[in-house]
Amino acid sequence: LPPPATRERPPGCKTVFVGGLPENGTEQIIMEVFEQCGEVIAIRKSKKNFCHIRFAEEFMVDKALYLSGYRIRLGSSTDKKDTGRLHVDFAQARDDLYEWECKQRMLAREERHRRRLEEERFRPPSPPPVVHYSDHECSVVAEKLKDDTKFLEAIQTLLTWIERGEVNRRTANNFYSMIQSANSHIRRLVNEKAAHEKEMEEAKEKFKLALSGILVQFEQIVAVYHSASKQKAWDHFTKAQRKNISVWCKQAEEIRNIHNDELMGIRREEEMEMSDEEIEDPSEMKETEESALVSQVEALKEENDSLRWQLDAYRNEVELLKQEQGKVSRDEDTTKEQQMKLLQQALQGMQKHLLKVQDEYKKREAELEKVREDKLKIETLLENLKEQESSTSRVCACSQEKECPVEKTLSNSPVKSEREVLLVGIISTFLHVHPFGASIEYICSYLQRLDSKICTAEVEVLMTRLQNTFRQELSGVGASLEKRWKFCGFDGLKMT
């Protein structure tokens, strides 16, 4: 039998619900049954044939669940009060949840402690403290700056001293000599970089030469395999030897192709680097030139405005000086005249600069107009191309319309589908058999034997649309007045 359905297991569950107990069952009997699953801490029995059992560990609950579904009987009695069927399920208890939360917090503390110890173990050791500045230490650091192996340590010490504020009038010359030594180290670094680049280029060339030599050898080996595969030599080999030769040939060709692709990739990268340095997209150049011109024009406008404001300020100052000239004494006239001359000279210089700026502004505007005209020409060319494409598509559409006139004629006909054509044929045959006509209900009852989906309105609309094929007549008098449909296709054919 499949295991009985249980509820979702609560976190840290150590308590089970046991139902279906015999009415005469005692705690001692329940303890005797369930202590086989593990240590029982507490049993809470109810008067309604169920109880809650709390175990010492969580895995004991899983063992107790296997007892669910078993029948229990007290002694040899068959009385209903002495029998029952056990139902064991997970139970939710506050003590279990509290213990589980405490355990989770303890595990989290242990994990944090372990992670902190791990971080401290992998943390790099702190650098040694930098010595304080003195003349002796300064000479030691100056010697270390000249040594390539100790340069990093010395430059760090020099940086720390400068940040601490050890530079003053007395020590300025010493610090200048150390900074000069650091500057001379730049040349050594540049030379070292150039040497490394040269070594890298030489290694690349060696690799390319070695790879090309390997490819030549592969070509020779593949040529040997191909010549051995020719009929002159191939017929003298056994079947096993031929198989081995063909397999070796395939393997050699695959390895040769891989090496060839690698060599071609290296050459392609070199060509791309050369082309990136030399070639640039002309459209991007135009856009950058146009944006540069626009930014220059805007900068010139701003400069022009600022110059105008400065001119206005100078004019205001000149007017103020003129107004105050009559009030000032003769001793100050000479100084005012000098100030006036200086201001006038400055004003003339500003006017000349303004004229130059305006000339540059006009030149930039002319260049911008040229760029805009080129842009308009390109847009007109694009529009012409689009019109040519649209004209070609119209010609294609006209040719397609000429090729399918039959479809248009079919769409203009009163019969719109193949189903209606079939209905017209069946109705015509039916009315031809009934020359005196038939009512619409009679016709529809006949058609519904063939297709139950046919409705009276659809048939009547179709017949009224075909006036040259069907005709409606009234027969009878008074209460016996009846509408009948007749087939008039032969008369309609003569009329058309």
Q: What is the CATH number of the domain that holds 60?
A: 3.30.70.330
Residues paired with residue 87 on neighbouring β-strands, in sequence order? 19
Residues paired with residue 362 on neighbouring β-strands, in sequence order? none
pLDDT the model gives residue 5: 64
Q: Print the domain residue range for 382.
A: 286-386
Q: Of 248, 277, 306, at which residue does a domain stop?
A: 277
**Residues 346 and 262 placed together within one structural domain of the fold:** no
Q: Which residues of the chain have pLDDT under 50?
A: 398, 401-411
Q: Of 101, 131, 156, at which residue does a domain stop?
A: 101
Structural domain count of the chain: 4
Using one digit for the tens of pLDDT, what is the confidence trace for 410-458? 445 666 778 888 888 988 888 888 888 888 888 898 888 888 888 888 8
pLDDT the model gives residue 368: 85
Structure tokens at 39: 């240590």
Using one digit for the tens of pLDDT, what is the confidence trace for 81-129? 888 899 999 999 999 999 999 999 999 999 999 999 999 888 877 767 8
- 129 located within any domain: no
**Residues 175 and 262 placed together within one structural domain of the fold:** yes
Q: Are 354 and 311 in contact (CB under 8 A)?
A: yes
**Residues 343 and 421 placed together within one structural domain of the fold:** no
Q: Of 343, 366, 386, at which residue does a domain stop?
A: 386
pLDDT the model gives residue 493: 67
**Residues 307 and 266 placed together within one structural domain of the fold:** no
pLDDT the model gives residue 4: 63
Name, in order, each residue with C-beta under 8 angstroms of 255's C-beta and a sequence gap of 6 or more: 218
**Residues 299 and 266 placed together within one structural domain of the fold:** no
- 10 located within any domain: no
Name, in order, each residue with C-beta under 8 angstroms of 40's C-beta and a sequence gap of 6 or more: 31, 34, 53, 54, 55, 56
**Residues 273 and 291 placed together within one structural domain of the fold:** no
Q: Is 34 exposed, middle or buried (0-12, 13-18, 19+ CB in 10 A)?
A: buried
Structure tokens at 400: 């397609």
**Residues 339 and 429 placed together within one structural domain of the fold:** no
**Residues 206 and 253 placed together within one structural domain of the fold:** yes
**Residues 202 and 231 placed together within one structural domain of the fold:** yes
**Residues 23 and 89 placed together within one structural domain of the fold:** yes
**Residues 273 and 296 placed together within one structural domain of the fold:** no
Q: Looking at residue 435, which CATH number applies to its domain? A: 1.10.10.10
pTM above 0.75, yes or no: no
